[in-house]
Amino acid sequence: MLRIGILTSGGDCQALNATMRGIVKTVLLGSDEPVEIYGFQDGYRGLIDSNFRMLGWSDFSGILTRGGTILGTSRVPFKTIDEVDEDGVSKVEKMIHTYHKLKLDCLCVLGGNGSTKTANRLSNEGLNVIALPKTIDNDTWGTELTFGFHSALEIATKFIDDIHTTASSHGRVFVIEIMGHKVGWIPLYAGVAGGADVILIPEIPYDMDNVCEVVEQRTKGGANFAIIAVAEGAISKEEAALPKKEYKALVESRTSPSVAYDIASEVAARTGREVRVGIPGHTQRGGQPCPYDRVFATQVGAEAGQAILAREYGFMVADIGRKIVRVPLAEVAGKLKFVDPECQLIAHARSVGISFGDMPIS
Residues 59 and 167 placed together within one structural domain of the fold: no
Residues 210 and 112 placed together within one structural domain of the fold: no
How far, in whole angstroms, is CA 253 from its chain's centroid?
26
In a domain, 360, yes or no: no
For the segment 67-92, the average pLDDT, to the nearest whole number, is 92
In a domain, 330, yes or no: no
Residue 134 CB coordination number (10 Å): 30
Is the pLDDT confidence value at 338 over 90? Answer: yes
Residues 36 and 14 placed together within one structural domain of the fold: yes
Q: Residues in the chain, how many?
A: 362
pLDDT at 312: 98
Longest dimension (CA), the chain: 72
In a domain, 242, yes or no: yes
Contact (CB, 8 A) for 234 and 259: yes
Residues 162 and 204 placed together within one structural domain of the fold: yes
Residue-wise pLDDT for 13-29, tens only, equals 999 999 999 999 999 99
Residue-wise pLDDT for 260-285, tens only, equals 999 999 999 999 999 999 999 999 99
Is the pLDDT confidence value at 244 over 90? Answer: no
Could you tell me the CATH number of the domain that includes residue 61? 3.40.50.450
Residue 229, strand partner residues: 176, 199
In a domain, 331, yes or no: no
Q: How confident is the model at residue 192 (pLDDT cuts 50, 70, 90)?
A: very high
Q: Is the dihedral of CA 341, 343, 347, 352 positive or negative?
A: negative
Q: Is the dihedral of CA 182, 336, 307, 321 positive or negative?
A: positive
Which residue type, as a one-letter code, is found at position 85? Answer: D
End-to-end CA distance of the chain: 68
Q: How confident is the model at residue 128 (pLDDT cuts 50, 70, 90)?
A: very high
pLDDT at 34: 96
Q: Which of 198-202, 225-229, 236-240 has the lowest average pLDDT?
A: 236-240
In a domain, 335, yes or no: no
Residues 209 and 347 placed together within one structural domain of the fold: yes
The 3-state secondary structure of the chain, one letter per residue: CEEEEEEECCCCCCCHHHHHHHHHHHHHHHCCCCEEEEEECCCHHHHHHCCEEEECHHHHCCCCCCCCCCCCCCCCCHHHCCCECCCCCEHHHHHHHHHHHCCCCEEEEEECHHHHHHHHHHHHCCCCEEEEEECCCCCECCCCCCECHHHHHHHHHHHHHHHHHHHHHHCCEEEEEECCCCCCHHHHHHHHHCCCCEEECCCCCECHHHHHHHHHHHHHCCCCCEEEEEECCCCEHHHHCCCHHHHHHHHHCCCCCCHHHHHHHHHHHHHCCCEEEECCHHHHHCCCCCHHHHHHHHHHHHHHHHHHHCCCCCEEEEEECCEEEEEEHHHHCCCECCCCCCCHHHHHHHHCCCECCCCCCC
Of residues 37 and 240, more confidence is placed in 37
Residues 238 and 216 placed together within one structural domain of the fold: yes
In a domain, 119, yes or no: yes
**pLDDT averaged over the chain?**
95
CA atoms of 219 and 204, how far apart (whole Å): 25
In a domain, 327, yes or no: no
From the list 137, 139, 197, 262, the catalytic residue is 137
**Beta strands at 106-111 and 129-133: parallel, antiparallel or unpaired:** parallel
Is the pLDDT confidence value at 361 over 90? Answer: no
pLDDT at 351: 96
Which residue type, as a one-letter code, is found at position 174? Answer: F
pLDDT at 232: 95
Q: How far is CA 90 from CA 9, 93, 95, 101, 111, in A?
A: 19, 5, 9, 16, 21
Residues 112 and 166 placed together within one structural domain of the fold: no
Q: How confident is the model at residue 133 (pLDDT cuts 50, 70, 90)?
A: very high
Residues 166 and 304 placed together within one structural domain of the fold: no
Residues 186 and 112 placed together within one structural domain of the fold: no
pLDDT at 245: 87
Active site includes 87? no
The 3-state secondary structure of 63-115, one letter per residue: CCCCCCCCCCCCCCCHHHCCCECCCCCEHHHHHHHHHHHCCCCEEEEEECHHH
Is the pLDDT confidence value at 122 over 80? Answer: yes
Residue-wise pLDDT for 315-334, tens only, equals 999 999 999 999 999 999 98
Could you tell me the CATH number of the domain that includes residue 273? 3.40.50.460
Residues 84 and 197 placed together within one structural domain of the fold: no
Residues 163 and 194 placed together within one structural domain of the fold: yes
When divided into structural domains, the chain yields a total of 2
For the segment 84-107, the average pLDDT, to the nearest whole number, is 95
pLDDT at 250: 83
Q: How far is CA 349 from CA 17, 111, 203, in A?
A: 34, 31, 15
In a domain, 296, yes or no: yes
Q: In what order do the strands lie in the sheet with 275-278?
A: 198-200, 226-231, 173-178, 275-278
Q: How far is CA 39 from CA 5, 139, 311, 350, in A?
A: 6, 26, 20, 47
Q: How confident is the model at residue 137 (pLDDT cuts 50, 70, 90)?
A: very high
Q: Which domain holds residue 269?
A: 154-285+340-351
Q: How confident is the model at residue 251 (pLDDT cuts 50, 70, 90)?
A: confident
Which residue type, as a one-letter code, is found at position 343? Answer: C
Residues 281 and 294 placed together within one structural domain of the fold: no
